Structure 1
Amino acid sequence: MASALLHKLHLALEKRLPERRLFLRSDTETRFIRLRSSTQLIALVGVTAVGAWTLVATSILLMDSLSSGNIREQVKRDQFMYEAQLNKLSAERDMRAQEAASAHMRFSVALEEISDMQERLLASEDKRREVETGLEVVQTTLRDAIKERDLARKAAEELQLALAETEAAEPETHRLAEVENTVAFLSEALRDTASERDHMQAYATDADDYIAELRLESRLKDERNDLIFSKLEEAMTVSIAPMDKMFRNAGLNVDNLIDQVRRGYSGQGGPLTPLEFTVTDGEEDVAEGMRANSILERLDEMNIYRIAASKAPFDVPVKSAFRFTSGFGPRWGRMHNGTDFAASYGTPIYATGDGVVIHAGWQSGYGRLVKIQHEFGIETRYAHMAKIRVSKGQRVSRGDRIGDMGNSGRSTGTHLHYEVRVGGKPVNPMNYIKAARDVF
């Protein structure tokens, strides 16, 4: 039955694909190739399969090409949006820098005014104390003069009684003259004492008025000082809060950072030295002094933040126009440990913080590479340079030019590969750049 079915199938196939012969003739002989129905069927199936495979492969390639074009367009749109965002952040950074400089200038002027007012207040306090001491001396002298006046009046009355008794008992002329001289002397002393008393009373009245005026002036100065202190405290809060936020957003331990800077800058003296007070100072002076010391401590803290900010890489390594081409993270199945900035060949590259150059030369993959060691265990790397402008061991500051942008090492075009490492571990450089946008 199976053979009969195969025979029928062969007959049907011969109807569709009859046997053919392909003749090959040469000069001496003629040969032919028999193409059976089954051979023709196999060839036809093979040709059809090849054609179908070609059609499918062409479709896949065409779809992949269209998809790649859409991805490139999307990448271009994302890059344009990111560049616009970077330009906006740069403008905001410049504005914040101007505001910080203006606040610092206003703070310096206010601090000078406080110093001048404190000197004048201390001078007025010394003068007031002198006046009070003089007033006490005048009052003591006046009380003594009144006592002497009363004693002189009592003595005069006794002498007048004695004179009357003497006139009745002793009519001698020389005795009467002596008594009259004594009475005249006492009368003159009484007039002088009365005149001095009136003068002292007038002086005491003037002194009371002057003391009242000094107290009013002191109260007005206290109110003005309180207003200035309030403004300074507000300025300190507004100035320190963004810097504290900047360090925390960058992932740095603020407390350890402040302790480390304070240990490195531990000298004392100058305008930021705390004020000292003794038990003889008034309660108001001590309270104002404590408030001034609090402001000085906040000012010292802001100064520490300023020093720390200069030593950490809170800046952009490229100041000219650039295009952000690749960020931190996985790329093509590998980890990209930095951020890429593309610009024209030879564009200046700047240090993003104070530090010491620990490498300046060629390194495999990086090409011409500069490594800068900063404080707090932070290291920055600048790769693929065209020219290096610093040497190993050189100390650089933020904004110093360290090289030119190029295409050395494993690179597909002119750009800067910028890395930030903390404790040897790479971190996203944009954390530092974004954290500083409201401060610098």
Structure 2
Amino acid sequence: MLTRVSYRINAAVERYLPEQRLFLKSDTETRFIRLRPLTQAVALGTATLFVGWTILATAILMMDTIGAGSSREQTQRQQAEYEQRLNRMSDDRDRRAEETVRAQERFNLALTQVAAMQSRLLASEDRRRELETGIDVIQKTLRRTIKERDEARASLESVTVAMNEAGNSPVGAEGRARDTEATLSYMTDALGAAAKERDAMAVEAEQSEERVADIEAERRALQRRTDEIFTKLEEALTVSVEPLDKMFRQAGLSSDELLSTVRKGYSGQGGPLAPLALSTSGLSGTPEETRANALLSGLDRMNMYRIAAFKAPFSMPVNTPVRYTSGFGGRDDPFGRGHRKHEGQDLAGSYGAPIVATADGVVTYAGWESGYGRLVKIKHAFGLETRYGHLSQIRVSVGDRVSRGDRIGDMGNSGRSTGTHLHYEIRVDGKAINPMTFIKAARDVF
């Protein structure tokens, strides 16, 4: 049965693959190998399958190689773009810091000019009051002189009437004439002197009025200049304070409570700026004093914000290029333990990259902790705490005081970790919050 099937198959295939014979000749004999059509078909199919498999395997390997190369190039491009973005953010932060410093310098210069202008204004005010007092004295003297002149004229008229009545009496006529002449001479001299004094006082009063008008014009010009300076200072202060206030509000911190806490613990040299006190005794505060005190209050608020910014974790814990991996919130456990809560932000980077403190504070823990591996905890103001996990090396000890930017450890893969990264946490009164809230809030400020 099998022979018949084989024969039929060979007969069918022989039309395409005729039987071939391979002769092998030696010195003594000649032999041949018969290659039936079926044998040739099996050999040809086997060779075709081998060649096809070789081509397919080569194509798969080439596609994997090309895909791996494209993935590496894409990763490198993303890393380059991220580094460029970090550089732009750093440059923008530096520019804003320089603008803040320049605004502070302009404010200090303008404040000095305001103080000088206030001094000049007070001096001109004193001169004006002195002139007003002098004018009052001159006017009183002039009125008294005019009154005395009128009284002298009345007396002269009385004497003239009496002389006329007694003119016909021969007794003492010559003596009365001499007395009358002396009296008239005295009255004439007195009236002339009074008139000269009156004219001099009138001229002096006119000059005083002109001087008062000049001082008043100078005072108005000084007032306009002072208003312009105050307006520019108020605008600069608003531009400087608003981003800081917005940063703290976006981070979920109460500005009033935060500033109150900073003021209670503020012990730097010089202390907070005191209100400006320029009013003289018995006088109420002028509008300029009110605006100056408001500016000083705003400047004090800005200084308190700057102090608070260093006490709250608004900076990045890693200064080298990193990639954001697992974020805050729910996620699938990387070790296959189901859906778990992730209480921090993972930042993947190079092994041994410097890890820095994100705010001023005190180290409360530095050692190994289950799950975190090598862990550093730092206590900050306002009930804040930061944690830095999976470190390869710890560079601080418990009780150390650190400032923002101080190196506290190196990035690693210790503890419950699948690769080199930093596990970064921020806690408020012991409760974990999203660290990206603080990082994003500070992007437009630092």
* Interval of TM-score (by shorter of Structure 1 and Structure 2): 0.7 to 0.9
Secondary structure of 1:232's match? helix
Please state whether the residue corresponding to 1:205 is helix, strand or coil: helix
What residue is the counterpart of 2:344 in the other structure? 337
The equivalent of 1:215 in structure 2 is 216
**One of 423, 428, 437 as aligned partner of 2:443:** 437
SS in 1 for 2:303: helix
Quote how far apart the aligned CAs of 1:129 are: 1.7
What SS is found at the alignment partner of 1:361?
A: strand
**Aligned partners of 2:273 and 2:196: how far apart in 1?**
53
How big is each residue's C-alpha offset from its partner over 1:99-124, in whole Å with a ceiling of 9 and x where there is no partner? 22222221222222222222221221
| Code of the aligned partner of 1:190 | L
**1:13-58 CA distances to partner (integer Å, 9 max, x unpaired)?**
xx99xxxxxxxxxxxxxxxxxxxxxxxxxxxxxxxxxxxxxx9xxx
Partner amino acid for 1:198?
D
- CA deviations on 1:237-266 (whole Å, 9 max, x unpaired) are 211221122122223333433343345459
- The C-alpha deviation readout for 1:46-98, integer Å capped at 9, x for no partner, is xxxxxxxxx9xxx9xx89x9699587776665444433332322222222222
Q: What is the alpha-carbon distance in structure 2 between the residues aligned to residue 374 and residue 269 of structure 1?
A: 22
**2:24 aligned partner:** none
Aligned residue for 2:234? 233
Q: Offset at 1:401?
A: 3.6
Equivalent AA in structure 1 for residue 127 of structure 2:
K
1:273 to 269, 272, 275: 275
Contact 1:367 1:383 in 2 (8 A): yes
Partner of 2:300: 300
Q: 1:235 to 1:312 in 2, by over 3 A?
A: same
Aligned mates of 2:272, 2:122 — CA distance in 1: 19
- Between 1 and 2, higher relative CO (CA 8 Å, sep ≥ 6) is seen in 1
User: 1:223 deviation in Å?
Assistant: 1.4
Matched, 1:354 2:360: yes
Aligned-residue offset at 1:207: 0.9
Return closer, same or farther for 1:189/1:400 CA change in 2, 3 Å cut-off.
farther
Q: Where do residues 151-166 of structure 1 align in structure 2 (5 Å cutoff)?
A: 151-163=151-163
> Quick check: 1:121 aligned with 2:128?
no
Amino acid at match of 1:220: A
Distance 1:325 1:73, change over 3 A: farther
With over 3 angstroms needed to count, the CA separation of the structure-2 counterparts of 1:383 and 1:263, relative to structure 1, is same
Equivalent position of 1:95 in the other structure: 95
Q: Are residues 269 and 425 of structure 1, via their aligned partners in 2, closer, same or farther at CA, if it must alter by over 3 Å? A: closer
1:417 offset after TM fit, Å? Answer: 3.8
User: What is the Cα deviation at residue 315 of structure 1?
Assistant: 1.3
Q: Supply the distance in 1 between the matched residues of 2:443 and 2:348 (Cα, whole angstroms).
A: 18
**What is the RMSD computed on CA atoms of the aligned residues?**
3.8
Matched positions, count: 381
Whole-angstrom distance in 2 between the partners of 1:428 and 1:89: 21
Structure 2 segments unaligned to the other structure (5+ residues): 7-52
Bigger Cα displacement from structure 2, 134-143 vs 379-388: 379-388
Q: Trace 1:111-150 onto structure 2 (pairs within 5 A).
A: 111-150=111-150
d(CA) in 1 for partners of 2:434 and 2:72? 24
> 1:382 is paired with a residue of what secondary structure?
strand
Secondary structure of 1:116's match? Answer: helix
Report the counterpart of residue 182 of structure 1 in structure 2: 183
Distance between the aligned counterparts of 1:421 and 1:372, measured in 2? 10
- Percent identity over the alignment? 50
For 2:304 and 2:137, the matched residues in 1 are separated by 52
- Out of 346, 361, 381, the residue aligned to residue 387 of structure 2 is 381
| Corresponding residue of 2:430 | 424
Q: Distance in 2 between matches of 1:312 and 1:270?
A: 20
3-state DSSP class of the match of 1:245? Answer: helix
On the 8 A contact 1:338/1:420 being kept in 2, the answer is no
Q: How far did residue 173 of structure 1 move?
A: 4.8
The 1:266–1:394 alpha-carbon spacing in structure 2 relative to 1, beyond 3 Å, is closer
Report what 2:325 is aligned to.
Answer: 326
CA distance in 1, matches of 2:167, 2:400: 114
**Counterpart in 1 of 2:401?**
395
C-alpha distance in structure 2 between counterparts of 1:399 and 1:87, whole Å: 17
Distance in 2 (CA, whole Å) between partners of 1:273 and 1:233 is: 16
SS for the counterpart of 2:382 is helix
Whether the 8 Å contact between 1:79 and 1:325 is mirrored in structure 2 is no
State the shift of 1:375 in Å: 1.6
Amino acid at match of 1:315: S
Deviation at 1:349, TM superposition (A): 3.6
Q: 1:108 to 1:327 in 2, by over 3 A?
A: farther
Is contact 1:159-1:183 (8 Å) kept? no
Show the counterpart of 1:248: 249
Q: Check whether the contact 2:273–2:300 (CA below 8 A) recurs between aligned residues.
A: no
Label 1:269 to 1:375 Cα distance change in 2 as closer, same or farther (>3 A): closer
The answer to which of 285-294 and 72-81 deviates more is 72-81
CA distance in structure 1 between the partners assigned to 2:430 and 2:271 by the alignment: 38
Of 258-267 and 386-395, more deviation after overlay is shown by 258-267
**Change in 2 beyond 3 A, CA 1:276/1:385:** same
Structure 1 unaligned residues grouped into runs of 5+: 1-10, 17-54
SS in 2 for 1:84: helix
**1:281-308 deviation per Cα after TM superposition (whole angstroms, max 9, x unaligned):** 58xx644444334333333332232222
Q: Deviations over 1:297-349 (max 9, x none)?
A: 33333223222212111112334x4333635243626537233252463x544
Q: Read off the aligned partner of 1:202 and give its amino acid letter.
A: V
Q: CA deviation at 1:416?
A: 4.2
Equivalence for 1:50: none
How many angstroms apart in 2 are the aligned matches of 1:213 and 1:248?
51
Aligned partners of 1:355 and 1:374 also within 8 Å: yes
CA displacement 1:169-189 (0-9 Å, x = unmatched): 234555444443333332222
